[in-house]
């Protein structure tokens, strides 16, 4: 037998559960980062141009996708769905420390990971096709013996992660801290 208090709580909880938005494929990269349609109280003004940067330091387990790079896809999907033109969304990654391994071409990647395949490479190619920029910290690269020629096509080398963040900041980019 259901207690009246429990039954009332269940009935009150049901409308909230029914209103929780479901995740679905996004409009820009539907196979990468699902999004939920949100009735936001924070309206994005028409004409808004987003310039955001993400900082990545952690390497994926060799042979698996570095899911930190899915943040750009989710940002693109969510904001285009909310009505922001894709052309008004500019995303950059600053990659340093061990994460630069995930931006290596097949041979250098395999050499550093016991022959594994770089599962992140396809995601990076998709993001590059949507004008997401990738900047590798030159200081981390030098410390790890990574040359420009080792990087995936389209990935750029910066003097350092600090200089990349500073230059992007001067261009109006905002660092997303997660």
Domain of 81, CATH number, reads 3.40.1260.10
Q: List the Cα angle 62/64/70 in 5-degree steps.
A: 125
- Taking residue 12's Cβ as centre, other Cβ atoms within 10 Å add up to 9
Token pair 């904001």 in the structure block, residue: 79
Within a domain: 44: no
Domain count, the chain: 1
Band (pLDDT 50/70/90 cuts) for residue 2 is very low
For residue 85, the enclosing domain spans: 49-176
Contacts 24+ apart (CB under 8 A), 106-114: 108/146, 108/150, 113/62, 113/63, 114/62
**pLDDT value, residue 6:** 44
Rounded Cα distance between 142 and 93, Å, is 19
Band (pLDDT 50/70/90 cuts) for residue 14 is very low
Within a domain: 101: yes
**pLDDT value, residue 9:** 47
**Greatest Cα pair distance in the chain:** 70
Average predicted confidence (pLDDT) for the chain: 92
Within a domain: 30: no
**pLDDT value, residue 18:** 53
* Residue 151 and residue 157 in contact, taking contact as beta carbons nearer than 8 Å: yes
Band (pLDDT 50/70/90 cuts) for residue 159 is very high
Within a domain: 155: yes
Q: Please provide residue 133's backbone torsions phi and psi, each rounded to the nearest 5 degrees.
A: -95, 145
Rounded Cα distance between 171 and 137, Å, is 18
First to last CA, the chain: 47
The upper half-sphere exposure of residue 96, i.e. CA atoms within 13 Å in the direction of its Cβ, equals 17
Residues near 43 by Cβ (< 8 Å), separated by ≥ 6?
Answer: none
């Amino acid at each position: 037998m259901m207690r009246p208090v429990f039954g009332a709580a269940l009935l009150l909880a049901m409308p909230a559960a029914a209103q929780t938005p479901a995740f679905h494929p996004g409009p820009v990269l539907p196979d990468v980062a699902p999004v939920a349609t949100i009735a936001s109280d924070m309206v994005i003004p028409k004409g808004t141009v987003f310039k955001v940067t993400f900082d990545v330091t952690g390497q994926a387990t060799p042979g698996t996708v570095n899911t930190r790079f899915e943040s750009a896809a989710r940002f693109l999907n969510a904001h285009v769905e909310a009505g922001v033109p894709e052309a008004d969304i500019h995303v950059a990654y600053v990659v340093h420390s061990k994460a630069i391994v995930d931006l290596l071409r097949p041979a250098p990647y395999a050499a550093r990971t016991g022959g594994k395949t770089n599962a992140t490479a396809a995601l990076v190619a998709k993001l590059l096709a949507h004008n997401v920029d990738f900047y590798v910290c030159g200081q981390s690269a030098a410390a790890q013996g990574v040359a420009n020629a080792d990087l995936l096509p389209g990935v750029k080398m910066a003097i350092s992660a600090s200089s990349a963040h500073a230059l992007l900041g001067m261009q109006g980019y905002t660092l997303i801290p997660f």
